[in-house]
Amino acid sequence: MLNKQHIIDRFLCYVKIDTESDPKSNTTPSTKKQWDLANKLYEELMAIGMTDVSIDDNAYIMATLPSNVDHEVPTIGFISHFDTSPDFTAANVNPQIVENYDGSDIVLSKDENIVLSPNYFEDLLLYKGQTLITTDGTTLLGADDKAGICEIVTAMEYLIQHPEIKHGTIKVGFTPDEEIGRGAHKFDVEKFGADWAYTMDGSQVGELEYENFNAASAKVTFKGKIVHPGYAKGKMINSMHFATEFITMLPQLETPEHTEGYQGFFHLHDMSGRVEETNLQYIIRDHDFNKFEARKALMQKIANDMNEKLGKPIVDIEIKDQYFNMKEKVEPVMHIVNIAEDAMKALNIKPLIKPIRGGTDGSQLSYKGLPCPNIFAGGHNFHGRYEYVPVESILKATQVICKIAEITQERYK
């Protein structure tokens, strides 16, 4: 039986360490503070009895739990990231614990009138009677993906303490900078040595995902010319007006707040501007590769058409691919998804097989030769002040890891 308080204490310890990543940095990890948790995890893996524990110069952590059976079993892995999103502050996280949640509003901050309400976040009602860990309304929580790390470390600890649970060799890996799209960039798949792996980076209990967005970023720059406004006729070029025109020329309903399921989008997530220069930062997402390519082409065409109409290079656009849909790499080895599905069913967890409206390290790792579906870690409302995680969900995800290990060795007897 997993110790609930032990898991709570471990999770709280992780989230109180600020590991926010920085997309503007060129180092790996992108922030020095990620080392604080990385070094702690290295020591913790050593302490619980893992072997071959390593941490490299870029803070990638790997460790091994040796097989305890005498027959050949494929080596499986479990992976999570320890950075948190730069979308919202992770400094001074002050978690709140709500015991036996009754389905009512949760006041996160009385002083600032910040309320986590099931009237807006309906998923809360799935967890009535459970123990919730929330923010205090001023930071994110960091369940993405410190819940996943907690689950993996706890599962390994439990398997070490319970050798009666039979399993093959298990590898674990923890990565920096997943939130800025670089988590798998320097991940050494050959060193990791697994035949396949699972990222513990999903949300709701039961989530099991092997499809994700194709993803790209776009930086659109508009050049203007500043002149005293009293003498500006025929001379001033206001870059902000052209940026506004560009925004309105994209499909207005193809944005995150208007899409779901397999529907892709254009997401304007940052903008800054003055008369002389305005910058727009977009992410482009679609599950279908042809539609993904069409989205990139549309943005390029709008920029080209604006320049042609204006008769000068006012608009510059730079589009960079980030990652691709892992479905192509996982479908040929669907038995690895089936094992995870069977593990959930054995624990009376209803599998929710659906596409990820985002990406994980697993999408890039799958293209590097390590097929890597994604499993729920339990958190909700990631990247903001309304983030929360039910403790019971962390417990269930931990049990799923153990059960996958057990079922895998059974299949290969």
pLDDT, residue 360, reads: 79
Which residue type occupies 239? S
pLDDT, residue 318, reads: 97
pLDDT, residue 155, reads: 98
CA 238 – CA 220 distance, rounded (Å): 15
The share of the chain scoring above pLDDT 70, in percent, equals: 100
pLDDT, residue 133, reads: 98
Tokens of 82: 């320890």
Q: Where are the domains of the chain?
A: 4-212+325-411, 214-323
User: The CATH number of 4-212+325-411 is which of 1.10.10.10, 3.40.50.300, 1.10.287.130, 3.40.630.10?
Assistant: 3.40.630.10
Contact by Cβ (8 Å): 269, 281: yes
pLDDT, residue 181, reads: 85
Contact by Cβ (8 Å): 386, 135: yes
Give the pLDDT mean for 304-326.
Answer: 94
Q: What is the mean pLDDT of the chain?
A: 96
- φ, ψ at 81 (rounded to 5°): -110, 150
Give the pLDDT mean for 73-81.
Answer: 98
Closest CA to 142 of 40, 16, 29, 37: 16
Whether 178 sits among the annotated catalytic residues: the reply is yes
pLDDT of 253 > 80? The answer is yes
- pLDDT of 336-374, one tens digit each? 999 999 999 999 999 999 998 887 789 999 999 999 999
Give the pLDDT mean for 287-299.
Answer: 97
Whether 83 sits among the annotated catalytic residues: the reply is yes
Residue with tokens 């892995």: 77
Q: Which of 44, 144, 151, 178 is catalytic?
A: 178
The model's pTM: 0.89
Q: Which of 83, 201, 207, 341 is catalytic?
A: 83
Give the domain 214-323 fold.
Alpha-Beta Plaits (3.30.70)
- pLDDT of 189-212, one tens digit each? 999 999 999 999 999 999 999 999
pLDDT confidence band for 109 (50 / 70 / 90): very high
pLDDT, residue 128, reads: 97
The secondary element (H helix, E strand) that includes residue 410 is: helix 391-411
- pLDDT of 11-46, one tens digit each? 999 999 999 999 999 999 999 999 999 999 999 999
pLDDT confidence band for 413 (50 / 70 / 90): confident
pLDDT, residue 248, reads: 97
CA 38 – CA 60 distance, rounded (Å): 8
pLDDT, residue 343, reads: 98
Which stretches within 123-193 are classed as H helix?
143-161, 189-192
DSSP assignment string, 220-276: EEEE-B---GGG-TTT-B-HHHHHHHHHHHS-TT-SGGG--TT--EEEEEEEEE-SS
- pLDDT of 87-106, one tens digit each? 999 999 999 999 999 999 99
**How many residues are given for the chain?**
413
pLDDT, residue 272, reads: 97
pLDDT, residue 158, reads: 98
- pLDDT of 367-406, one tens digit each? 999 999 999 999 999 999 999 999 999 999 999 999 999 9
- φ, ψ at 342 (rounded to 5°): -65, -35
- φ, ψ at 215 (rounded to 5°): -135, 140
